[in-house]
Amino acid sequence: MRMRTALISDIHGNREALAACLAHIQRNPVDRIIFMGDIVGYGADPVWCLETVMSHCEKGALALLGNHDEAVFKLETDMNAAALQAIEWTRTKMSNEHRAFLKEMPLLKEEGEILFVHASAAGPHTWPYVIHTRDADACMRYTTRRVTICGHVHRPQFFHAPDGRPIEAFTPPPGIGMPLLKGRRWVVVLGSTGQPRDGNPAAAYSVLDSETGKITMYRIPYDIESAARKIRAAGLPPRLADRLFTGS
C-alpha cells in the first residue's frame, strides 16, 4: 500500500515556519507525519509548536526525540551559550504534561528498510552530526537498514554508497523527487523547518513516497519577521533572530 510520509525536522520553536509547512501539507495531503526531533529550542513559541505536534500525534503522527527536546528535562547539556540560554528559557514555559510527552518520545523508528532518527544511527543518544562522508559511513555501519533518514544538521544532504564503491554526497534540489535507488545504501539528512542553515531562509520539510521510492524536499516561505521579532521580545540572544533572515 502506498504511503506518503511528511518529514518535519528541527522546528525549534518557530511557530510561523511550522504553520507554513503544515498549511502546505494540508494543500498537498500526506498519509502521515513524522516529526524528526528538536521541536523546541532557539525559537519563541515552544509551547505552541509542542502542543501542535502533540495534537498531530493524537491523530497518528510520530514524534522522535531530539537533543534540544531532551535538554528540557536533562540538566547536564552540552550546548553553546546561546542554545543553552534558549533552553533555560524554554524550560520555564514547559508544563509537567509537556515534559512527560518529551520524555516519552522514542529515539528512533525502524520500519522495513528505513531507520528514522534525529541524529545518526552511530549513537542516537550521543547526537553525532552527519556532515561528511566519514559521518555517513559511521551511520551506515551502525545499522542494517538500507536507508537512514535524519535531521540535526539543518543542512539537507544526501549520501549514497553503491555496493563496493566509496560514499558520494550531493545536495538535493527542492521540489524534485530524488529516487533512493536500490542496490545502494543511503543516509538522507533533512533540512530544518524552523532554523535552516544552508543559506536558504525558507522553511524545509520533505515527503517520502513509499510507492516511487522518492523523497522530495520542499522549501516554504514564511513570516520570518514575526518569528524574529518574538525572539527578540523574549530576551533571547539576538543572533537567534538574525540568522533566520539568512538561513545561516
- Give the closest residue to 69 by CA, choosing from 34, 96, 104: 104
Check: CB of residue 149 under 8 Å from CB of residue 7: yes
State the Cα–Cα distance between residues 67 and 9, nearest whole angstrom. Answer: 12
Q: Considering the entire predicted model, what is its pTM?
A: 0.97
Q: What is the pLDDT of residue 162?
A: 83
Q: Name the phi and psi angles at 232, rounded to 5.
A: -65, -40
- Give the closest residue to 87 by CA, choosing from 73, 102, 107, 101: 73
State the Cα–Cα distance between residues 47 and 14, nearest whole angstrom. Answer: 10
Percent of the chain at pLDDT > 90 equals: 95
State the Cα–Cα distance between residues 224 and 114, nearest whole angstrom. Answer: 33
Percent of the chain at pLDDT > 70 equals: 100
| Domain assignments of the chain as residue spans, ordered by start | 4-246
Confidence check: pLDDT of 76 > 80: no
Sign of CA dihedral 177, 31, 203, 194: negative
The model's pLDDT over 129-181, given as tens digits with 9 standing for 90+, comes to: 999 999 999 999 999 999 999 999 999 999 999 876 899 999 999 999 999 99
Mean pLDDT across the stretch 91-97? 97
CATH homologous superfamily of 4-246 equals Metallo-dependent phosphatases (3.60.21.10)
